[in-house]
Amino acid sequence: MSRLTGSIDREHRRVVLAAMVGTTIEWFDFFIYAICAGLVFGSQYFAALGENALILSFATVGISFFFRPVGAVIAGHLGDRIGRRAMLILTLLLMGVSTVLIGLVPTTATIGVAAPVILILLRILQGLSAGGEWGGAALLAVEHAPADRRGLYGAFPQIGVPIGLLLANGVLALVAALTTPAQFLAWGWRIPFLLSVVLIVVGMVIRTKVAESPVFEEVRRSKVRSRLPLVVLLRHHWRLVLAGALVFAANNAVGYMTTGGYVQSYAVKSLHLDRSTVLAAVMISALGWLASTLVGGKLSDRYGRIRVYQVGFVIQLAWMFPFFALVNTGNVGLLVVALILFSVGLGFTYGPQAALYAELYPTTVRYSGAALSYALGAVLGGAFAPTIAEALQTSTGTVYSVGVYLAVVTLVGLAASFFVPDNRGRALDTTGDRPPAPVVEPTSRTSNPPEAATP
């Protein structure tokens, strides 16, 4: 990683650190819920549903995704109007408060049906926060970056996801190792949620010290801003929003096999592997995902965003069924190998994303466009991926049916990638509602000239 970060000068390290730390905290909070949905919540909050308890528990992971577009619209509008930095602080605070409160919710045995209702409401708040967080963090990093390093800079908020996964699994593994199974189910799982208080304080301190995006500051000085960014976005760029969402959906559905807790649940409940051991295996794979995400971002600066995406999708397809074959052996060493190689395709289809989305949209609607593409992709891809996987495995009796589902989703993403323009190097300092011509590749087809912002 040192070779990758060495090309980032000291002036911008604070920016990428703020983007990375913030997304790490956000996704730590988000993932401990998803993992506990597979390991804890079925028995503690939905036990009355019998054998369907686990499926409904996974469904609560997906419910929050429907509120991501709402969070994306709200944060996108305010982010395009008042700035990226302010929204990053607000989304971090919202995620932190809702996460701590989840750790305090009594079980169904204590307060009855109110328990799962409160749990779902707090999960919805997490979804609102996640919908607005990513766009601001990605843009803060990319808009501060030199044109030829946007892929690398944009990869740093992306690695907040594998780091968050690493921390979530690590803390839960530590708690599981220090408690008995009964203690873990009774109260041990609450500890990571409550520890989020410390992480939120750290994140707030770092983010409040970061300057606003220079690209947005230029827009602010020019006083040319869209009054209704979402309207302008959907009027001029709806095809890009849809294609970008489908591309991300393919990455997100596959990624949620681990981030959504399905693999952990399958390995523990169906293969009877030790909970702490499985969580440790996922932690190791998170390091592989982190490295491949950084490499994917850097390679996209040289070879283009879409080309790296397409290589990643091919890797996902090639490894899909061998992955499940190795997992099914029940061998911990082979599980680790399967997860590490699984992470390579994920990194290549995640590392270039921040730069790709930032270069698709003009400044006045960029937050709205990036956040909405991301949020819709999450709904289409990861929202119910663990639920679908659990239902397929239960109904067919084989985990390979899950592989078929993920292969189909990956093919959709690969096909959609051919409809997304690769604007590597596009100028980001426009103040209009339409993007300017690319500046790196003069032979590219130019787009419409900038227009004045919608009044």
Between CA 49 and CA 41 the distance in angstroms is 12
Q: Which fold has domain 13-417?
A: Growth Hormone; Chain: A; (1.20.1250)
Between CA 44 and CA 185 the distance in angstroms is 8
Between CA 14 and CA 369 the distance in angstroms is 25
pLDDT at 219: 61
Between CA 285 and CA 170 the distance in angstroms is 12
Percent of the chain scoring above 90 in pLDDT: 44
**pLDDT greater than 90 at residue 302:** yes
Question: 108-159: per-residue pLDDT in tens?
Answer: 999 999 999 999 999 999 889 888 888 888 888 888 888 889 999 999 999 9
Q: What is the identity of the amino acid at 127? A: G
Question: 31-49: per-residue pLDDT in tens?
Answer: 888 889 888 998 899 888 7
Buried b (16+ CB within 10 A) or exposed e, 96-120: bbbbbbbbebebbeeeeeebbebbe
Q: At what angle do helices 68-82 and 363-380 cross, to 10 degrees?
A: 170
pTM metric for this prediction: 0.80
DSSP secondary-structure letter at 1?
A: -
Q: Residues 112, 126, 57, 165: what is their CA dihedral angle, to the nearest 10 degrees?
A: -130
By the 8 A CB rule, do 453 and 226 touch? yes
pLDDT at 383: 80
DSSP secondary-structure letter at 52?
A: G
**pLDDT greater than 90 at residue 100:** yes
Q: Residues 272, 274, 279, 280: what is their CA dihedral angle, to the nearest 10 degrees?
A: -130
Query: Side-chain half-sphere of 264: how many Cα atoms within 13 Å?
Result: 34
By the 8 A CB rule, do 38 and 261 touch? yes
Of 215-224, 230-239, 278-287, 396-405, the least confident? 215-224
Question: 402-447: per-residue pLDDT in tens?
Answer: 999 999 999 999 999 999 999 887 777 554 445 544 433 333 433 4
Number of H helices, E strands in the chain: 23, 0
By the 8 A CB rule, do 129 and 330 touch? no
pLDDT at 215: 66
Between CA 21 and CA 16 the distance in angstroms is 8
Query: Side-chain half-sphere of 424: how many Cα atoms within 13 Å?
Result: 21
Of 35-39, 79-83, 223-227, 449-453, the least confident? 449-453
**Phi, then psi, of 224 in degrees rounded to 5:** -110, 95
By the 8 A CB rule, do 315 and 345 touch? yes
Question: 341-394: per-residue pLDDT in tens?
Answer: 999 999 999 999 999 998 988 877 888 888 899 989 988 998 888 889 989 999
